[in-house]
Amino acid sequence: MKDELAKRLVQGLKDAGINFVTYLPETRLSQIVPLMRDDPDIELIAVANESEAITIAAGATLGGKQAAVYMENTGIYTSCYSLLTVGKQLGVPLLLVIAYLGGVPDLRNSFLYATIGQHSVPVLQGLGIDHRVLEDGDRLEIKIADAVRAANSLRAPYALLFAGEFSQ
């Protein structure tokens, strides 16, 4: 991802009120990590797995923060239980910032990720989690704000899957 796009993504998160982010490092969107780490308005918490990321972010939300979870789409699979119980059953709004590896719009797609990408959206649908695939920076800040508003209105996780020019 180009530096300017990474800056816009982080600024879009801030503008939408995100002030707490849990994450498990990955490669597609990794340029946002130092930007968030160096920003005094965002509390950034590294985790050991995506399920932990969901539950820590949910706790922050219940404590008054506006939280996001940053992960690659393989994390959808490992965090299903937490997404379903904490996110959906208990009604905790979270923004899921997901690098969409292996999806058709992933510009670095390969046989390693194609199957994972093929099933990511159906898994989100099966969990009842609304989502949007972003392939370029057109109206990025507005789309992030819309997603945060949807999560808060629905009292549930909302996923933004980043591919296309975000995966370069």
**Which segments of the chain are extended strands (E)?**
20-23, 43-46, 67-72, 94-99, 130-134, 157-162
What pLDDT digit, counting tens, does each position of 38-56 carry?
A: 999 999 999 999 999 999 9
Q: What are phi and psi of 135, to 5 degrees?
A: -110, -15
For residue 131, pLDDT beyond 70:
yes
The pLDDT assigned to 103 comes to: 76
Give the burial class of 126: count Cβ atoms within 10 A of its Cβ; 0-12 exposed, 13-18 middle, 19 or more buried: exposed
Q: Could you tell me the CATH number of the domain that includes residue 126? A: 3.40.50.970
Range(s) of the domain holding residue 85: 3-167
The pLDDT assigned to 101 comes to: 85
For residue 105, pLDDT beyond 80:
no
The pLDDT assigned to 107 comes to: 64
Among the residue ranges 106-115, 116-125, 144-153, the one predicted with the least confidence is: 106-115
Count of domains for the chain: 1
DSSP three-state, residue 92 = coil
pTM of the predicted structure, to 2 decimals: 0.96
